[in-house]
Structure 1
Amino acid sequence: MLTTLLVASSLPLLAVAQSAASLAYTPVYGACPSGFTLVRQAGSSAAGNQTLNPQETAYISSRKSNVLPNAWKTYLSNIEATDVSLPSYVSDILSGDSGDYPNLGIACSGGGWRSAMFGAGVMSVLDSRNAASAALGTGGLLQAAQYLTGLSSGSLLVGTLAQANFPTMHDLIFGTNSTDPTNAWGGWFAQLSRAAPYTNATQNAEYIQLLVDEVRGKFEAGFSVSYVDVIARDNGRHFVNGTDINNFYDEFLVHGAGYTWSAVANVSTFMAYEQPFPIILATLLSPNGNLSTVVPGFLIPTSNPVVELNVLCVSDEMGSYDPTLAAFTPMKYLGTANESICATNFDQTSFIMGASGDADIFFNTSESTLINSPMYPILEVLNNTIPQTGVVLDGTLFPNPFLGPATEGAFIDADETILALSDGGSSGEVIPIQPLLVKARGVDTIFAIDASQDLENAYWSAGGSLINTQNRVNTLFPTAYSFPPVPTNISEFIAQNLSTRPTFFGCDSSTEAPLLIYLANGGPPRDGETSLTNVAPLNVTTEQMQAFLDQTYMIAMQGNSADPSSAIDPEWPACLACAVVDRARNRTGADRSGICCSCFERYCWNGSTYGL
């Protein structure tokens, strides 16, 4: 249980010249634009008046009209090329003949470097640009998805994919060649430890001091800074445009500073509606939370709002559809506290990723744990360089736009001047499913990628996040969201092998909940290879990264064979298509038939075992 929040000390601040990175990272004040509104009320799903931002609605509508028809046809063509015999309704839906395409969302879990790599490996199986995936019959689902959500290290995957202009997974991780080195996407540089890229301790200490100095301008502009700001500057080198392996250590470059999350809407693939709509998640870190709703092993109450950080063409937003907030504020103007003087340049992409991935609250459970944690040396430098009185340091800090009457609901932090966010998985929901349950979005199929850690002595996933989502929805928000039934404990997931092979939840067509396709890092591949994905790496070589991705690819394409002696199900691509279209099938009134019947018998969980 969290005992106390880190608070900065109070020491003299000495003036120093700002670097280019510090200047680019500093928010700017100016007059608010005409007609500016600080808070948009999002309505209530319980009352039937829940509303999406009009710009999100417009993006999804344009994507449906301009991109999805060809995307679904490409996906269908890839499946049909495998010579599988699909029911006619599957072909009708995917070709557009039924007039109703599936509304698919993909969710990428947290779990450190492991989750970012595992998520990328799985999405490579879904990517039509991967020739092997296209030939397998799974390639194309990534291009056809409407939404893509990320949380914690999953947000690094989703965030970099969006801002790097939606490259292939290989290029995302290892970088692309570019004639413009100042704007090039260099890759993740996973071989360099985050916040400790040198092999020399003295150089690493100097590197931390450099990162702290780069957030100084933000403090001098009047904003509180925290540990996450420092990590954000390291994020800028790993996950934002403008850095390559040759200039990583160049102190005179901005290294991603100035690249804002709201500006992602200006990249060419987003402007052409080619990207699934990206959503990054964080969790409210509040002194006012109801501690009785804390899940054992986690720190933040599940009753605290789950916060979305969205990209939109004009009115990108931060906020929550949870009934306890049900309000949003413009992302471009984060840092703004009134409707007269507006801040811009606050929503640094590296900072937004940091908000979702700030799991360091888990180090602040006792003094001894904190002192022995990797965050403590960074906090010491931050406290000594930029002392602040009474400022929480283990959260991501925002001036609170939802003060007092700004929100109509019972928002627990309506009286707080500073809003603090923490890792999206700090409350136990490590797969970012909540945005895909928002009824106004109409998502009917969720592909959930899980690389979180559910076992104490191993890094395997075993459904814990799904269980926590089920409990949160059913206990706290039963009218706001609908979630398909899943087991009530991890032991059942393990006993039935629900996380060592793909599993479908919610196969009952009568439910209004989305159908959930669950693919977890739950065990080694069934071909007998030595496991490479049961790790928590701080840094990996290029060769290790490629080996990890190759094994993830095997896990994601093996399916659940009807033949116990076979490691790979040749019908898995067809079964996946059957699940993707099933809610759309139900809307047409067609009955399941053909291969889809046997697929659902093999892949569906019915409350006690596989089968309907």
Structure 2
Amino acid sequence: MTYPGIFISLQLALHIILSCILSFTVAQNPVDTYAPTVNVNCPDTPNSLVRTFTSQTQILNASETDYIASRESYIISNAWSNWLGNASDIGYDFESLEGKFPRIGIAVGGEGYRTAQYGAAVLSGLDWRNTTAREVGTGGLLQVASYLSASSGGSWLLGSLLMNDWPSINELVYGNGENLSSWMVDIDLIVPSSPSVSDGNNQEYWGSILASVESKANNGLPTSATDLWGRMISYHFLNETTRGNFYTNQTGHGAGQLWSQMSLLPNFQNYTMPFPIVATDSRKAGSGITTNVPLNSTVYEITPFEFGSWDPSLSAMLQLKFAGTYLTNGLPANPSACVAGFDQASFVMGTSSSFFNAVLNVTDGNFGFDTSDGDEQGMNFIFNQLLSHMPSNAMNAANWPNPFKGVNPGTFQDSSADQLELLDGGSNYEKVPLSSLLVKARGLDVVVVVDGSADDQNYWPNGTSLLTTFERISSVLSSSHQPMPPIPGTAAQFVSTGVNMRPTFFGCNLTQGQPDYPIIIYLPNAPPLSGIAPATNTDDTQFSYTSKFTAVFINQAFGNALGGFEPNATSPDPYWGRCLQCAAIDRAVTPRSDICSQCFARYCYDPNNLPSRSELPDRQLVFVNPDPSGLQKVEQWLEGDKSLLAGFIVAIIVGIAGIVGFIFWWRRRRARMSRYSRVDELREDDEPWKYYDGNSLELTRRMSIT
């Protein structure tokens, strides 16, 4: 080994020592920073907390308007140039566009881990930073998008991307060896250590989660199963959690990370990321609906700046940083009755995926999860702890104090309610949050729909989400949202035409007199083009994936995102990247080029010339587990002279063993001391039930509420 090599290795050793010391000494947020702050001074002009409008007077939040304008000016113009080059490959002259580009949004649907991973794979396939995607021609669309909406499992992906400051998908999912430790999807969401309820690590995990939720309840805010759920999601998708600290309270595991503070992140401040929107459904407060909600139930959205709804029945927005505040006619009970810190990122992600109204039996506390892997027993156990210690208004929904009380009493379903009961973003069957991107004030020209729904018996999408959006816009949102383009009329037609199994463009050809709808680029989860066994059509309630499983899943979905389709073939379309570019730029060009016309002949849905499922041969529909044993073969190797390397390692170990050993001994001691009491050892004085009326289970609020 050369002297420079030894010097570099010693530098590495010193770096390891320094990292250990820093990780030992630097304090991070504890889990109880999940608690919102109450009795906060409200703005000097309290009527600025809530803004109202009508379908005819829609206006975006000023901060959203500024963000979109800045992103389109400083980022998107250059991104189009990077993606299209001089545009000659698709038959256009880039200079002739004169900087006028379509406004694009991407909507990622959700249903748990499956859709988080599917959305991740598709976004990677649209990302300029992915070399393979860039070479194919699909990579670049993500950079020219102005908006990115998500719901349910898609919100887990979105929240993870945002709160980690917009890394590449590979870094996010697999880690980068530095500040990103990877998604923890191989660790079960509910029973991370083992299927046993009495497992010590499980108890530590649940105890920490309950401590977070308890801190929120102690400050007078209602809690529910959604709070538990959000904290579980936080451990697996937000930063601060590693495999080394998973069962300790050395960090807050995402507690204290607020959605409204996203604007402080460097890649938000420099407009690198599309403007994010999370969608969530609701049921009428007190209705106790345990099925899918009707189409006229209010749909809410959460951005970095606001919480509210564009639905004509409400048409109101609250400043997000004051979410959790009880308001009547837009006013607090007194000038210091505001709440801050309610918009925890984990709670936002949990709210958008709060499906407990459909699965939780509030009578016996059972969830209907798989009992063979311990998920049912684990969720039942921690929920019963919550139920007995921290009762709330609606245990099977996300409880948000209602800031819109008194607003639009003639049309708004919860105008007289103290609480909003929010649900999974797909509770009305609109599993992809397309409506948020069709708000007229946003003026989108193109929307990419990433549909990972499990609609049929084999867990593939069949167009139900698009059909629901079409019906909801036609019957409820016609005055406030852009219309939908023509799509197949039923789920059966989605299947018979094959558009549920391949990329499809809807709304390619606007004709005079038709409503001005956007082009929809539909990217459904589908079997691999090659005909191999699929691994991406998994159950909604699969709460862990081995590392190998995740790699196979993402590779299959990524391959489809890059592949397009060849009619009557099992090979990818070599021109799919160009066709995607054609669809993205189409609203800004006229006439359509010959190359793009050929693309549209293949990918556009024409109601007068329907495609056929028979054009997609040899697609395997039945799921096959790519890692049935859950075991992975890891190949290890050493480069160079093993004996020399071994001698060097021994020398380094001798030099630093004492220091590192001492540090790790203290870290373990500190970790043991920092752990919360096991769930079954909770003490009477730890529990916040004293703030509740034991007869009615109503929260005895510490704040003045009208």
Q: TM-score, normalised by structure 2?
A: 0.76
Contact kept, 8 Å, 1:106 with 1:145, in 2: the verdict is: yes
Contact kept, 8 Å, 1:239 with 1:350, in 2: the verdict is: no
1:11-90 equivalent positions in 2, closer than 5 A: 20-37=30-47, 39-45=49-55, 47=56, 49-77=57-85, 85-88=89-92
Secondary structure of 1:215's counterpart equals helix
Aligned to 1:575: 579
Secondary structure of 2:404's counterpart equals coil
2:536 alignment partner, one of 533, 538, 541: 533
**Structure 2 residue identity aligned to 1:347:** D
Secondary structure of 1:425's counterpart equals coil
Secondary structure of 1:460's counterpart equals coil
Give 1:279 deviation, angstroms.
Answer: 0.4
1:349 alignment partner, one of 339, 345, 348: 345
**Structure 2 residue identity aligned to 1:324:** S
Contact kept, 8 Å, 1:195 with 1:207, in 2: the verdict is: no
How many Å separate the matches in 2 of 1:607 and 1:369? Answer: 48
How many Å separate the matches in 1 of 2:248 and 2:572? Answer: 47
Aligned to 2:662: none
1:194 alignment partner, one of 168, 189, 196: 189
Cα shift readout 1:579-604 (whole Å, capped 9, x = no counterpart) = 1112222xxxx222211111111111
Give 1:422 deviation, angstroms.
Answer: 0.5
Give 1:298 deviation, angstroms.
Answer: 5.0
Secondary structure of 1:67's counterpart equals helix
How many Å separate the matches in 1 of 2:163 and 2:30? Answer: 21
1:490-509 equivalent positions in 2, closer than 5 A: 490-509=491-510
Contact kept, 8 Å, 2:298 with 2:413, in 1: the verdict is: no
1:399-438 equivalent positions in 2, closer than 5 A: 399-404=401-406, 406-407=407-408, 410-438=411-439
1:335 alignment partner, one of 324, 335, 342: 324
Give 1:289 deviation, angstroms.
Answer: 7.3
Contact kept, 8 Å, 2:111 with 2:353, in 1: the verdict is: no
Cα shift readout 1:324-347 (whole Å, capped 9, x = no counterpart) = 110010111111124422111111
1:550-589 equivalent positions in 2, closer than 5 A: 550-562=555-567, 564-565=568-569, 567-585=571-589
Instruction: Mark the CA change 1:27 to 1:194 in structure 2 (over 3 Å): closer, same or farther.
Output: farther
How many Å separate the matches in 2 of 1:96 and 1:343? Answer: 51
Single out whichever of 147-156 and 249-258 deviates more from structure 2.
Answer: 249-258
Instruction: Mark the CA change 1:170 to 1:426 in structure 2 (over 3 Å): closer, same or farther.
Output: same
Instruction: Mark the CA change 1:408 to 1:277 in structure 2 (over 3 Å): closer, same or farther.
Output: farther
How many Å separate the matches in 2 of 1:360 and 1:174? Answer: 30
**Structure 2 residue identity aligned to 1:450:** D
How many Å separate the matches in 2 of 1:409 and 1:62? Answer: 39
Give 1:38 deviation, angstroms.
Answer: 5.3
Contact kept, 8 Å, 1:42 with 1:51, in 2: the verdict is: no
Q: How many residues align?
A: 559
Cα shift readout 1:14-57 (whole Å, capped 9, x = no counterpart) = xxxxx931244343431113234454334233x2x111101100
Aligned to 2:701: none
1:225-264 equivalent positions in 2, closer than 5 A: 225-264=223-262
Aligned to 1:597: 597
Single out whichever of 167-176 and 24-33 deviates more from structure 2.
Answer: 24-33
Secondary structure of 1:319's counterpart equals strand
How many Å separate the matches in 2 of 1:600 and 1:20? Answer: 54
**Structure 2 residue identity aligned to 1:505:** F
Give 1:513 deviation, angstroms.
Answer: 1.0
Cα shift readout 1:433-464 (whole Å, capped 9, x = no counterpart) = 01110011011100100001110x21111111
Secondary structure of 2:554's counterpart equals helix
Contact kept, 8 Å, 1:25 with 1:215, in 2: the verdict is: yes
Cα shift readout 1:198-255 (whole Å, capped 9, x = no counterpart) = 1143123453233112211111111111111112222221122211121111134211
How many Å separate the matches in 1 of 2:438 and 2:41? Answer: 37
Give 1:159 deviation, angstroms.
Answer: 1.2
**Structure 1 residue identity aligned to 2:222:** S
User: Over aligned residues, Cα RMSD in angstroms?
Assistant: 2.2
Give 1:578 deviation, angstroms.
Answer: 1.2
- Structure 1 residue runs of 5 or longer lacking an equivalent are 1-18, 179-183, 292-296
How many Å separate the matches in 2 of 1:465 and 1:228? Answer: 24
Instruction: Mark the CA change 1:392 to 1:582 in structure 2 (over 3 Å): closer, same or farther.
Output: same
Q: Does 1:277 align with 2:275?
A: yes
Aligned to 2:445: 444
How many Å separate the matches in 1 of 2:228 and 2:280? Answer: 18
Q: TM-score, normalised by structure 1?
A: 0.87
Aligned to 2:307: 318
Contact kept, 8 Å, 2:149 with 2:433, in 1: the verdict is: yes
Cα shift readout 1:145-191 (whole Å, capped 9, x = no counterpart) = 0000110000011111111111000111123333xxxxx44332000
Instruction: Mark the CA change 1:140 to 1:96 in structure 2 (over 3 Å): closer, same or farther.
Output: farther
Instruction: Mark the CA change 1:26 to 1:185 in structure 2 (over 3 Å): closer, same or farther.
Output: farther
Which structure's CA Rg is the greater one? 2
How many Å separate the matches in 1 of 2:272 and 2:96? Answer: 18
How many Å separate the matches in 2 of 1:394 and 1:607? Answer: 42
How many Å separate the matches in 1 of 2:184 and 2:96? Answer: 41
Aligned to 2:217: 219
**Structure 2 residue identity aligned to 1:539:** S
Aligned to 1:5: none
How many Å separate the matches in 1 of 2:361 and 2:463? Answer: 25
**Structure 1 residue identity aligned to 2:552:** A
How many Å separate the matches in 1 of 2:177 and 2:262? Answer: 20
Cα shift readout 1:346-400 (whole Å, capped 9, x = no counterpart) = 1100001001011121114685794644343332110122234xx1111111111
Secondary structure of 2:247's counterpart equals coil
Q: Does 1:376 align with 2:380?
A: yes
Instruction: Mark the CA change 1:76 to 1:139 in structure 2 (over 3 Å): closer, same or farther.
Output: same
How many Å separate the matches in 1 of 2:410 and 2:115? Answer: 35
How many Å separate the matches in 1 of 2:286 and 2:546? Answer: 43
How many Å separate the matches in 2 of 1:250 and 1:108? Answer: 33
Cα shift readout 1:382-433 (whole Å, capped 9, x = no counterpart) = 0122234xx11111111110011x4476211010001111100011100010
**Structure 2 residue identity aligned to 1:301:** P
How many Å separate the matches in 2 of 1:324 and 1:270? Answer: 32
Aligned to 2:264: 266
How many Å separate the matches in 2 of 1:211 and 1:430? Answer: 28
Aligned to 1:139: 139
How many Å separate the matches in 1 of 2:322 and 2:213? Answer: 19
- Structure 2 residue runs of 5 or longer lacking an equivalent are 1-28, 370-375, 612-706
How many Å separate the matches in 2 of 1:376 and 1:485? Answer: 45
How many Å separate the matches in 2 of 1:551 and 1:329? Answer: 41
1:76-155 equivalent positions in 2, closer than 5 A: 76-77=84-85, 85-88=89-92, 91-92=93-94, 97-155=97-155
Give 1:108 deviation, angstroms.
Answer: 0.4
How many Å separate the matches in 2 of 1:382 and 1:346? Answer: 19
Contact kept, 8 Å, 2:224 with 2:391, in 1: the verdict is: no
**Structure 2 residue identity aligned to 1:264:** M
Cα shift readout 1:51-81 (whole Å, capped 9, x = no counterpart) = 110110000011111111111111113x96x
Contact kept, 8 Å, 2:204 with 2:247, in 1: the verdict is: no
**Structure 1 residue identity aligned to 2:50:** R
Contact kept, 8 Å, 2:230 with 2:350, in 1: the verdict is: yes
Aligned to 2:632: none
Instruction: Mark the CA change 1:160 to 1:112 in structure 2 (over 3 Å): closer, same or farther.
Output: same
Aligned to 1:483: 484
Contact kept, 8 Å, 1:363 with 1:369, in 2: the verdict is: no
Instruction: Mark the CA change 1:409 to 1:484 in structure 2 (over 3 Å): closer, same or farther.
Output: farther
Contact kept, 8 Å, 1:42 with 1:321, in 2: the verdict is: no
Instruction: Mark the CA change 1:368 to 1:336 in structure 2 (over 3 Å): closer, same or farther.
Output: closer
Single out whichever of 23-32 and 52-61 deviates more from structure 2.
Answer: 23-32
